Amino acid sequence: MSPVTAAAPEGTHALDDDRVLVFDLLRATEAAALATARLLGRGNDDEVDAAAVDAMRPVLGTVPMRAVVVVGEGENDDSPMLYPGEHVGSGHGPLVDLAVDPIDGAGLTARSLPNAMSVIAVADRGAMFDAGHVLYMDKLVIGPDLVGTVEFDAPIEDNLAAIARERSVGLGEVTVALLDRPRHTELIGRIRAAGARIKILLDGDLVGALMAVQSDSEVDLLIGTGGTPEGIIAACAVQCLGGAIYGRLAPRTETEARQARDAGLVLDRVLSTDDLVRGDNVYFAATGVTGGELLRGVRFSADTAVTSSLVMRSRTGAVRTIETRHRLSTSTLFPTGS
């Protein structure tokens, strides 16, 4: 494991003292969702990305925390992106690691497709895995009842059969979520040949991971190669909801692999949930931008907007779905009095 920073020194303000911190984080995801929902269907991914960061950044500056971005966007010269290694927060409060995706699904938003959302997670300083420049990983995400039943390196056919046995259903009732990418063509064929169902994700597999660990979801398993940042954020959600995520770094080039090895990363190691984010002190907040199975999208009227969000805390096991009505001023896209 290669955390981006050392653990917080003794005597500092502890994250577990901040029971309402998740609601401060919620203000940031709501702001990003409100800003990006205004750009629905315009076809410009970069415009959506920029709007999300521009809306989220000033809110993060007011949150009572001393955070270092472990999972972010861009590099430190890609202003105004929230880049890995950047320090954000009000300058007082707990020392934390921050994983942030101001808009998970910029392309979905730009094309008016479902399941785009704004996401933030925090954990104690030094808790989150630092994957360096390795942007992709092979992943498997399951719910609590399947831990010990499904194996990361097992053939997909064996895992599907194990899920069907554990849940006392036929293979035709097992549903696998994965990204619609050419790299998954063979895997998709094997899943179909086994008789299981497939939920194709157009962009961003975080929503699939969240669905896989929820008992009332149609998704039994998320599998495939996707973004490493999304994997770490998913691990934060898994710490709150239960279940497990397993992953293995998947460098795209030999140069990327060499950089990873030089950074001390072991490329053939199977990473568990606790490897990706340690401890039980994790906060998670997500707000829907476009509607989907997990969250409703932003709904606008003449002078108000309604957002749908999910907030969680691992230590208490609290999971809340929150709908917020925002009064919009005539001069800004952002809510007043929030």
Looking only at the bridges linking them, the beta strands covering 95-104 and 66-71 are parallel
Q: Has 203 been labeled as part of a binding site?
A: no
Distance between CA 114 and CA 308 in Å, rounded?
14
Q: Has 218 been labeled as part of a binding site?
A: no
Residue 182 DSSP code: G
Q: Has 104 been labeled as part of a binding site?
A: yes
Q: Has 24 been labeled as part of a binding site?
A: no
Q: Which two structure tokens, joined as six digits, stand for 122?
A: 């925090």
Residue 96's DSSP bridge partners are 67, 124
Q: Which amino acid is at 175?
A: T
Q: Has 45 been labeled as part of a binding site?
A: no
Distance between CA 165 and CA 149 in Å, rounded?
9
115 CB neighbour count, 10 Å cutoff:
26
Classified as helix, coil or strand, 296 is coil
Distance between CA 161 and CA 164 in Å, rounded?
5
Integer Rg of the chain from CA: 19
Q: Binding site residues for Mn(2+), as ranges?
A: 49, 73, 101, 104, 230
Q: Binding site residues, as ranges?
A: 49, 73, 101, 104, 230
